Structure 1
Amino acid sequence: MSEFPQILGVYSLYLESEVGTGGTADKHANVTYWYARQLSDDDFEVQPLNAHHVPSGVRSVMQRMDFLRQYTPEPTYYRIHTVPALESLARKIDEGEQAFADGDFDTAEAQFIKALMIDDKNIDANYGLGEVYSETKEFNKLKKVLNTLLGLAEAFTYEHRQKFNRFGISLRKNGHYDESIRYYKKSLEIVDDDENVHFNLARVYFEKGQNDHCISCLEAALNLNPEFVEAQRFLKYCQKRLN
């Protein structure tokens, strides 16, 4: 059996509504386009396309029969509009990440902004831009990107865990402690059983000199994973330091 999720392409949703009343009533057809993925044998996910033909916005999951009954495949639309737009988006993100790795923050910023012009909710582009502003210490711009990420629950899911961790480390290392605390607390609202998030939050509190909060976070991490060696050592150090 094939692995899930599987990209199905673009599907249209046709909805008919009645406008007006009585003798002036008239039917109005509305067609919208959606990006579809199959998550399992029975679960299908749809996400609306934005004006640039790329998936953006809230994802919805439905059962197989509901999906097949309501949505119609649009392979030509997908090939002509969405595939080129997604390729352009991915290319800009890749170029931004390469520029960031090379220390060329101006080019990285420009490429991530271009990506966000195609999809302003793109998580990879927002993380990339956030890292740029964290490194360059452009606080107001960083705060704006952080607020965007805090509004995207998907940014804190396992799928984006690598970039989630990298951005959190960047915030702490560059001294953005309050922003880092907001960031990790938001993550814990969505996924509260990740001992690494508790541990990383503890490190931020330690940097701020808030030892009681630091110890509480380490204890929470160890409650989730008693074999967490780094947390054990850090907790012993903090307790010894307090005593």
Structure 2
Amino acid sequence: MSSPNEAQSAWEEYMRRSGMPSCAFSTRKTIKIGTGTTTQRKESKIFWVGTKLDDSQFEIQRVNKHMAPSGDVQHIPADKFYKDFHPEVELFNTRILPVMRSIEQAVNRGDRHRERGEPYSAEFEYNIALGHDEQCVRALFGMGLVYLSRNETDKARNVFKELVEINATFAPEHKHLFNEFGIQMRKRGMFEEAVSYFQRGLRFDTDDENLFFNAARANYEMGNYQECVRNLTASLEINSAANEAREFARYLQQHIGRLMREARLENHIATPLREAVEHANLLAEQQTAPDGGPNASESKGNHKRLRYDTQSRNIDILS
């Protein structure tokens, strides 16, 4: 068995040669077979894909029977990784990497079909990816959006349950998928699921005004006005220059009496809601850019992704 120092040197040499921070590795597991005097010990290999995050830790994900990294992502200290994990470079290059590429290509094709309004072709491609890895996050998101586009809400709910149970490392693009999925759920009256998705996206980016704004919109539809205003305030605190967010704050202030009646709140109980709405409206009136600059209309360009219809009260983030 190599020492940790030798393993580290071998890993660094591999990264220099391949230009990749990931590779396949194996760990050994001893299994007892039989009982009593007939007991035998058999050693088996468990395969993983490991990725170096920094000098102190690695990210590992177990390889499934289809040779795809799948399931929960774990983080382990570098010294333990070098001690217990053995490189499987040939396996990675000849079997695992081709499967990973096949999954990515299928998902990309599925996304293109979905964006062109071809849900059945998209479903076919997502199923190819899920055939390799049934917990593929991007494929599950795509499949869920396909189901929602066809108003198959029960199937979409099943996908929703699968996604929230996966302990995966979500990439930046997944945040936008949470947002898009949440919007589509809200449009179909799946308000609780929509709020859960916006909240899940905010776990990975607490500074996204769009996620906060959409969470406010969904909570408004549910009649959760206090939570609506809390999320709208958070959105405005990040970017008070967003035109439609400011309109929404003014709309809430103009209709505070109706909101209180609908929520059946007595005046003394409704005081926190009234104060919260006033605070949101004050933020809206500031009209300052997130960096404090005077030209709010050019800041981030994020307000261009918001749409608010004063007639239907329909509010969406478009991207």
| TM-score interval, normalised by the smaller of the two chains | 0.7 to 0.9
1:51 aligns with 2:65: yes
Distance 1:105 1:181, change over 3 A: same
1:134 aligns with 2:148: yes
Distance 1:156 1:242 in 2: 38
1:160 aligns with 174
Tell me the percent identity. 28
Distance 2:165 2:240 in 1: 30
Distance 1:233 1:155, change over 3 A: farther
Contact 1:14 1:32 survives alignment (8 Å): yes
1:12 aligns with 26
Supply the AA of the counterpart residue of 1:160.
H
Supply the AA of the counterpart residue of 2:215.
L
1:229 aligns with 241
Q: 1:173 aligns with which of 187, 192, 195?
A: 187
Contact 1:47 1:57 survives alignment (8 Å): yes
Scaled by the length of structure 2, the TM-score of the pair is 0.66
Distance 2:145 2:84 in 1: 41
1:116 aligns with 2:130: yes
Supply the AA of the counterpart residue of 1:193.
T
Distance 1:219 1:35, change over 3 A: same
1:95 aligns with 109
Distance 1:192 1:36 in 2: 25
Contact 2:181 2:194 survives alignment (8 Å): no
Contact 2:73 2:168 survives alignment (8 Å): no
1:242 aligns with 256
Distance 2:84 2:101 in 1: 28
Supply the AA of the counterpart residue of 1:106.
Y
SS where residue 198 of structure 2 aligns?
A: helix
1:97 positional shift:
0.8
What RMSD in Å do the two structures reach over aligned CA positions? 2.7
SS where residue 58 of structure 1 aligns?
A: strand
1:57 positional shift:
0.9
Supply the AA of the counterpart residue of 1:200.
N
1:9 positional shift:
1.2
2:316 aligns with none
SS where residue 56 of structure 1 aligns?
A: strand
Task: List gaps (5 residues or longer) in structure 1.
Answer: none
Contact 2:72 2:166 survives alignment (8 Å): no
SS where residue 196 of structure 2 aligns?
A: helix
Contact 2:175 2:201 survives alignment (8 Å): no
SS where residue 255 of structure 2 aligns?
A: helix
1:198 positional shift:
2.7
1:26 aligns with 2:40: yes
Distance 2:225 2:39 in 1: 68
1:157 positional shift:
6.1
1:242 positional shift:
1.8
Aligned residues: 237
SS where residue 75 of structure 2 aligns?
A: strand
Q: 2:97 aligns with which of 73, 83, 87?
A: 83
1:153 positional shift:
4.2
Supply the AA of the counterpart residue of 2:79.
M
SS where residue 250 of structure 2 aligns?
A: helix
Distance 1:102 1:158, change over 3 A: closer
Distance 1:22 1:132, change over 3 A: closer
Contact 1:46 1:59 survives alignment (8 Å): yes
Contact 1:135 1:174 survives alignment (8 Å): no
Distance 2:206 2:98 in 1: 39
Distance 1:163 1:87 in 2: 21
Distance 2:180 2:118 in 1: 18
Q: 1:42 aligns with which of 56, 74, 78?
A: 56
